[in-house]
A and B are shown apart, each in its own frame.
Chain A
Amino acid sequence: MDLPSKPSRRTLLKGAAALAATPVTGFPAVHAAEPVTLRYLGTAVNQSADIAKKVKEDLGITLEYIPVVTDEVTKRAVTQPNSFDLIDTEYFSLKKILPSGNLQGMDAKRIKLADKISSVFTKGEVAGKRIGDQGTAPRKVFYLEGLDSKKFAGEQTQWISLIPTVYNADTLGIRPDLIKVPVTSWKELLNPAFKGKASILNIPSIGIMDAAMVVEATGDYTYGDKGNMTKPEIDRTIKVLIEAKRAGQFRAFWQDFNESVNLMASGETVIQSMWSPAVTKVRAQGVPCTYQPLKEGYRAWASGFGIPKTLSGKKLDAAYDFINWFLSGWAGAYLNRQGYYSAVLETAQANMQPYEWAFWMEGKPAEKDILGPDGTLIEKAGATRDGGSFDARMGAVACWNAVMDENTYMVRKWNEFIAA
């Protein structure tokens, strides 16, 4: 059996090698003519096929999406910095990524619209008014000390950590048809009237901040910084959560976007922490759902583009070209139409119809039916956006998604809460 098989395998391999050799000769020429491809690491939320198509048309750059969940973006940035050319990550992740030295500062001089980026990021202000600064507010981590710096700069510099892609203000979603009483405060999340019908997310760093909003709303305690609690503060917050859990307040916890949609749409929950597009999706199923503004304000988040340290030459130029294109309006309008906010509002406005702008950004009743970027009906004429205008929503931000100094301890206590 051995003898005849050997030569035949040899010849087969030789044949295969010969076959493979032929096309190889023509390869370098093809490669030279090939346009630049950027490997874009981020969550699926921002990675739309429409944007990739438009970039290809306008700049000839091919985007290769690497869609992973938020935590995985951070993990990859820290452990596999050569596996992407462009990263779209949340600002709070910077506290983990930047010290690893895997990102380079972005030169504000090469970003044409750097001066036009929303004051939410550059100054922590909306319409000239200071907004909530607790947690990892983008303002605190927006500028770096230098190109290769691992430190955040206290004031405005030439080096930017992340160029904003999208940001938003999160609050509680409710089912107005099943909740008859008005909901105006975060403390309603733990109101015994909604026993067995409430939910929060099982992402420790975000879930604990929602819990902190509740604790503050009850008036029991005021945190120094909800986004950076001390150990006793963590203990206090987790204790409140454990008591509520043992009392059967929660129906379930959710972990991903679709779970939150299903819980709400099926009526398993009537009040829960939620993300804005999830509310839109529940409504799209014909189920009434309100993204309820609350008097204590919103928990906000923001994500942005960063460039890995190793990127250079043609790819680096392409990355800057792409980011400049991203800020130039088409993409901004695209994102605004989904209910997010974009980095440079002026250019986005130029790419939107006046009635669209009035609905999404000014909080005015829709003059016509409001359509999403894909043409689906989002709101009928006459509807207004929950929470009102950009200034009203972003102006009422209380805190930002964060990574705490006591993160390890917090995760341990969160596990204790889940096990309770």
Chain B
Amino acid sequence: MTDLALPAPATVAAAPAATAPRPRRALAYLQAAPLALVFLVFLVVPLVLTGIVSLWEYNEYEIIPALTLQNYVDVFDGCLSADLCTTVRTYLSTVKFVVLTLAITLPLGFAIAYFLAFHIRSGTVRMGLFLLCTIPFWTSNVIRMISWIPLLGRNGLINDTLRTLGLIREPIEGLLYSDFAVVLAFVHLDTVFMIVPIFNSLARIDRRLIEAARDGGASGAQILWNVILPLAKPGIAIGTIFVTTLVMGDFVTVGVMGGQQIASVGKVIQVQMAYLQFPAAAANAMVLLAAVLLMILGLTRMIDLRREL
């Protein structure tokens, strides 16, 4: 880790790139080339292709190279009328899940990371507990999600227990196949993506800063708010980006936990793919990409990730 970090200041020192000797610049490009190539082949090319296909026409069994905006018109069909159109409804529903999931995973992830970073004194125990957080990831996320169903169902463990205890007479229907179930699964699946980057940020905070703040007479809350939180911002931002993109692109969790009754952008795309409507699916994917990029752009406006890292 330190070995890798070392050359960085050196390049910064020789910052005016124009004055750098030519062979060194070539070498730098060469070093960056493999990763750039991977990005080009596996990210840029597919994205451009998706963009191109989204402008094509299609019928039941073939896609026809042509230039049309019809697919985008279809995506936003009816959005100008008073009633909310399908796309807006779908995005609102998805964004609602993003907000709810963030509202829970952020404080939860921060609290766990804080506990790990500041309250556990032994480094070994800390790493042990940290690894413990990742253990659920040894099983597939579909299985972790499905395992909620016997618990939450109409005749599930929770309803049965409550009934046996005499607390309720009729089963609580809203436990499963509802917004609640979806958010619960998201929190279960995604909190760790909040914990890891925040923990990473917290672990790198110089303890002397906290001591200095305490010596300066700051209370615990003030230290948290004025010292730790600002320094944890990069971790929070990265965690938020993880959770946002995961929830925005998801259709399996919403499908299974929502009983297929709740719309998600991913599901719309999947249905269109299944019916060989690739251009329509591509157009939807481009709109989704734009939406997610906008959200991340907004986020990076609030926190300058480059500087903070």
B240 at the interface (CB under 8 A from A): no
A255 at the interface (CB under 8 A from B): yes
Q: Which of A71, A196, A245, A267 contacts B155 (CB 8 A)?
A: A267
Instruction: Tell whether, in the assembled complex, residue A100 and residue B62 are in contact, meaning their CB atoms are under 8 Å apart.
Output: yes
User: Cα distance A100–B276 when bound, in Å?
Assistant: 12
Q: Which of B86, B89, B263, B274 contacts A412 (CB 8 A)?
A: B86
Instruction: Tell whether, in the assembled complex, residue B153 and residue A254 are in contact, meaning their CB atoms are under 8 Å apart.
Output: no
User: Cα distance A418–B90 when bound, in Å?
Assistant: 9
A78-B276 contact given A95-B60, A415-B263, CB 8 Å threshold = yes
User: Cα distance A196–B272 when bound, in Å?
Assistant: 28
Residues in B with CB closer than 8 Å to A251 are 177, 259
Instruction: Tell whether, in the assembled complex, residue A253 and residue B61 are in contact, meaning their CB atoms are under 8 Å apart.
Output: no
Residues in A with CB closer than 8 Å to B102 are none
Q: Which of A78, A205, A252, A403 contacts B261 (CB 8 A)?
A: A252
B288 at the interface (CB under 8 A from A): no
Instruction: Tell whether, in the assembled complex, residue A267 and residue B154 are in contact, meaning their CB atoms are under 8 Å apart.
Output: yes
Residues in B with CB closer than 8 Å to A254 are 260
A408 at the interface (CB under 8 A from B): yes
Query: Which residues between 236 and 282 of chain B lie within 8 Å of chain A, taking CB atoms?
Result: 255, 259-263, 267-268, 271-277, 280
B176 at the interface (CB under 8 A from A): yes
A97 at the interface (CB under 8 A from B): yes
B308 at the interface (CB under 8 A from A): no
Instruction: Tell whether, in the assembled complex, residue A71 and residue B274 are in contact, meaning their CB atoms are under 8 Å apart.
Output: yes
A419-B60 contact given A252-B261, A411-B271, CB 8 Å threshold = no
A204-B89 contact given A253-B261, A268-B154, CB 8 Å threshold = no
Instruction: Tell whether, in the assembled complex, residue B61 and residue A96 are in contact, meaning their CB atoms are under 8 Å apart.
Output: yes
User: Cα distance A202–B62 when bound, in Å?
Assistant: 24
B211 at the interface (CB under 8 A from A): no
A236 at the interface (CB under 8 A from B): no
Query: Which residues between 152 and 184 of chain B lie within 8 Å of chain A, taking CB atoms?
Result: 153-156, 173, 176-177
B74 at the interface (CB under 8 A from A): yes
A418-B261 contact given A267-B155, A268-B153, CB 8 Å threshold = yes
Chain B residue at smallest Cβ distance from A250: B261
Residues in B with CB closer than 8 Å to A75 are 273-274, 276
A419-B259 contact given A97-B61, A252-B177, A266-B155, CB 8 Å threshold = no
User: Cα distance A250–B299 when bound, in Å?
Assistant: 38
User: Cα distance A33–B20 when bound, in Å?
Assistant: 66
**Size of B's binding interface in residues, CB under 8 A:** 34
Minimum CB–CB distance from A303 to chain B (whole Å) comes to 17
Interface residues of A: mostly helix, strand, loop or mixed? helix
A420 at the interface (CB under 8 A from B): yes
Q: Which of A78, A403, A408, A418 contacts B277 (CB 8 A)?
A: A408
* Interface core residue of A78, A251, A252 (most chain B CB under 10 Å): A252
User: Cα distance A420–B77 when bound, in Å?
Assistant: 15
A255-B260 contact given A95-B60, A415-B271, CB 8 Å threshold = yes
Instruction: Tell whether, in the assembled complex, residue A196 and residue B173 are in contact, meaning their CB atoms are under 8 Å apart.
Output: yes
Residues in A with CB closer than 8 Å to B261 are 245, 250, 252-253, 418
Instruction: Tell whether, in the assembled complex, residue B275 and residue A418 are in contact, meaning their CB atoms are under 8 Å apart.
Output: no
Chain A residue at smallest Cβ distance from B75: A412
B141 at the interface (CB under 8 A from A): no
Q: Which of B60, B150, B177 contacts A403 (CB 8 A)?
A: B60
Residues in B with CB closer than 8 Å to A37 are none
- Map CB proximity to A onto B38-77 as digits: 1 under 8 Å, 0 otherwise: 0000000000000000000000111000000000001001
Instruction: Tell whether, in the assembled complex, residue B93 and residue A99 are in contact, meaning their CB atoms are under 8 Å apart.
Output: no
Instruction: Tell whether, in the assembled complex, residue A414 and residue B173 are in contact, meaning their CB atoms are under 8 Å apart.
Output: no
Instruction: Tell whether, in the assembled complex, residue A419 and residue B89 are in contact, meaning their CB atoms are under 8 Å apart.
Output: yes
A253-B259 contact given A266-B154, A411-B271, CB 8 Å threshold = yes
Instruction: Tell whether, in the assembled complex, residue A204 and residue B61 are in contact, meaning their CB atoms are under 8 Å apart.
Output: no
A34 at the interface (CB under 8 A from B): no
Instruction: Tell whether, in the assembled complex, residue A96 and residue B274 are in contact, meaning their CB atoms are under 8 Å apart.
Output: no
Minimum CB–CB distance from B291 to chain A (whole Å) comes to 16
User: Cα distance A97–B60 when bound, in Å?
Assistant: 9
Instruction: Tell whether, in the assembled complex, residue B60 and residue A204 are in contact, meaning their CB atoms are under 8 Å apart.
Output: no
Residues in A with CB closer than 8 Å to B262 are 418
Query: Which residues between 162 and 204 of chain A lie within 8 Å of chain B, taking CB atoms?
Result: 196, 202, 204
Instruction: Tell whether, in the assembled complex, residue A253 and residue B176 are in contact, meaning their CB atoms are under 8 Å apart.
Output: no
User: Cα distance A74–B61 when bound, in Å?
Assistant: 9
Chain A residue at smallest Cβ distance from B284: A415
Chain A residue at smallest Cβ distance from B173: A196
A411-B77 contact given A100-B62, A268-B153, A420-B89, CB 8 Å threshold = no
Q: Which of B86, B156, B260, B275 contacts A407 (CB 8 A)?
A: B275
Query: Which residues between 230 and 277 of chain A lie within 8 Å of chain B, taking CB atoms?
Result: 245, 250-255, 262, 266-268
Instruction: Tell whether, in the assembled complex, residue A418 and residue B263 are in contact, meaning their CB atoms are under 8 Å apart.
Output: yes
Query: Which residues between 55 and 88 of chain A lie within 8 Å of chain B, taking CB atoms?
Result: 71-72, 74-75, 78
A155 at the interface (CB under 8 A from B): no
User: Cα distance A412–B74 when bound, in Å?
Assistant: 9
A416 at the interface (CB under 8 A from B): yes
Residues in A with CB closer than 8 Å to B263 are 415, 418-419
Residues in B with CB closer than 8 Å to A418 are 260-263, 267
Query: Which residues between 104 and 141 of chain B lie within 8 Å of chain A, taking CB atoms?
Result: none
Chain B residue at smallest Cβ distance from A266: B153
Residues in B with CB closer than 8 Å to A97 are 61
Minimum CB–CB distance from A255 to chain B (whole Å) comes to 6
User: Cα distance A407–B74 when bound, in Å?
Assistant: 14
Minimum CB–CB distance from B216 to chain A (whole Å) comes to 50
Query: Which residues between 211 and 226 of chain A lie within 8 Å of chain B, taking CB atoms?
Result: none
User: Cα distance A406–B77 when bound, in Å?
Assistant: 16
User: Cα distance A43–B272 when bound, in Å?
Assistant: 20
Residues in A with CB closer than 8 Å to B255 are 255
Instruction: Tell whether, in the assembled complex, residue B267 and residue A96 are in contact, meaning their CB atoms are under 8 Å apart.
Output: no
Instruction: Tell whether, in the assembled complex, residue A252 and residue B61 are in contact, meaning their CB atoms are under 8 Å apart.
Output: no
Minimum CB–CB distance from A73 to chain B (whole Å) comes to 11
16 other A-B residue contacts (CB within 8 Å) besides A252-B177, A419-B263: A95-B60, A99-B60, A99-B62, A202-B260, A250-B259, A252-B261, A253-B259, A253-B260, A253-B261, A254-B260, A268-B153, A268-B154, A403-B60, A408-B280, A416-B86, A418-B261
Q: Could you pull out 20 A-B pairs where Cβ atoms are within 8 angstroms?
A: A71-B274, A78-B61, A96-B61, A99-B61, A245-B261, A250-B261, A251-B177, A251-B259, A252-B260, A255-B255, A268-B153, A268-B154, A408-B275, A411-B271, A411-B277, A412-B74, A415-B271, A416-B86, A418-B261, A418-B263
B contact residues vs A (CB 8 Å cutoff): 60-62, 74, 77, 86, 89-90, 93, 149-150, 153-156, 173, 176-177, 255, 259-263, 267-268, 271-277, 280
**What are the 4 A-B residue pairs with the smallest beta carbon separation, nearest first?**
A252-B259, A419-B263, A253-B260, A71-B274
